[in-house]
Amino acid sequence: MTKTRRMSKVFANDGKSITLALDGFYFSTKTEGIDRTIDLIPSLVENGLNAVIVTYGMAKLYAESFANLGMIVRADLSTSVFDARIPDTTSLLSVEDALKLGADGVISMTFPGAENEAASHKQAWDLARAADEWNVPFMCETLPYSYHVTSLESNQIDKIAAAARIGMELGADIIKTRLTGEPGDARIIESAKCPVFVLGGPKTANLLDYFRYIKHCFDVGAKGIAVGRNITLNRNPIGVVAGLNTIIHKNGTPEEAVQAYQHDSEMISINH
């Protein structure tokens, strides 16, 4: 199977993707809502979900749930699950392991600027080479210094852009990274030289602000978004996906996305 064919499972026909990140168990103990959200997968797919990022164990346990989605399997995990910065990771599964699960892609992190950057670059490079041998898309999560924004430098456009380019130079087919919400984010997209998936976005109690951020990301050139807690911790995960679908696949406005979310909330109330 070619990479193009596998990529078509991750992206919709419009070349964009709404991806649900469910791999939190490899990096954190804050995993509330993940299993509940997996139970909603059929409704999430109906509302525009295209793909999932999962752990090895999750791909086995919930194989039936992910049958109609693109599936990217995480190939690395934190060396200290209690450290929210995730400053260091270790390699876990091989491309062959992922293919046995029916994966459409593999993913690993790298942290340019961090103390361990050489090790994380090597992990990404090894995975990229193996992925090329098997024609499997490789998504590289390129985050300067740390997973979270821990300093001004870790959220500077030039640093994020440089990190994205490093990921591409290591062999990534897709880059996953953060954007800042500023117009200059277009530089990050340009530097990547391949499709960019944006991390799920800032935590905010204001849904309209969140959807405005998502609209900004796609306006500057993002091709996908990988959302975890902003879906799994929301009281209405289906509504969030419906709102994302309104912006990403239907070219709607943030205001229309809020309406889609609210409509789904009303439907849930009626059905209960």
Cβ atoms of 228 and 24 within 8 Å: the answer is yes
Give the other-Cβ count within 10 Å of 267's Cβ: 14
Q: Is the pLDDT of residue 265 over 70?
A: no
Backbone angles phi, psi at 189, to 5 degrees: -60, -45
Q: Is the pLDDT of residue 254 over 60?
A: yes
Q: Is the pLDDT of residue 218 over 70?
A: yes
Domain that holds residue 122: 3-271
Q: Is the pLDDT of residue 151 over 90?
A: no
pLDDT tens digits, one per residue of 83-99: 878 889 999 999 999 99
Write the DSSP assignment of 179-242 as a string of letters.
Answer: --SSGGGHHHHHHH-S-EEEE-----S-HHHHHHHHHHHHHTT--EEEESHHHHTSS-HHHHHH
pLDDT score for 86: 86
pLDDT tens digits, one per residue of 51-67: 999 999 999 999 999 99
pLDDT score for 205: 76
Instruction: Report the number of distinct structural domains present in the chain.
Output: 1
What's the CA gap between 18 and 8, in Å, rounded? 13
Between residues 267 and 109, the one the model is more confident about: 109
**pLDDT bracket for residue 270 (50, 70, 90):** very low
pLDDT tens digits, one per residue of 185-214: 999 999 999 999 999 887 777 999 999 999
Q: Is the pLDDT of residue 271 over 90?
A: no
**pLDDT bracket for residue 264 (50, 70, 90):** low
The mean pLDDT of the chain is: 94
181: CATH: 3.20.20.70
- With a pLDDT cut of 70, the percent of the chain lying above it is 97
Question: What does pTM read for this prediction?
Answer: 0.95
Roughly how many angstroms between the first and final C-alpha of the chain, as a whole number?
A: 44
pLDDT tens digits, one per residue of 98-142: 999 999 999 999 999 999 899 999 999 999 999 999 999 999 999
State mean pLDDT over 253-272: 77
State mean pLDDT over 39-59: 98
Please tell me the chain's helix, strand, coil percentages from 3-state DSSP, rounded to the nearest 5: 45, 15, 40
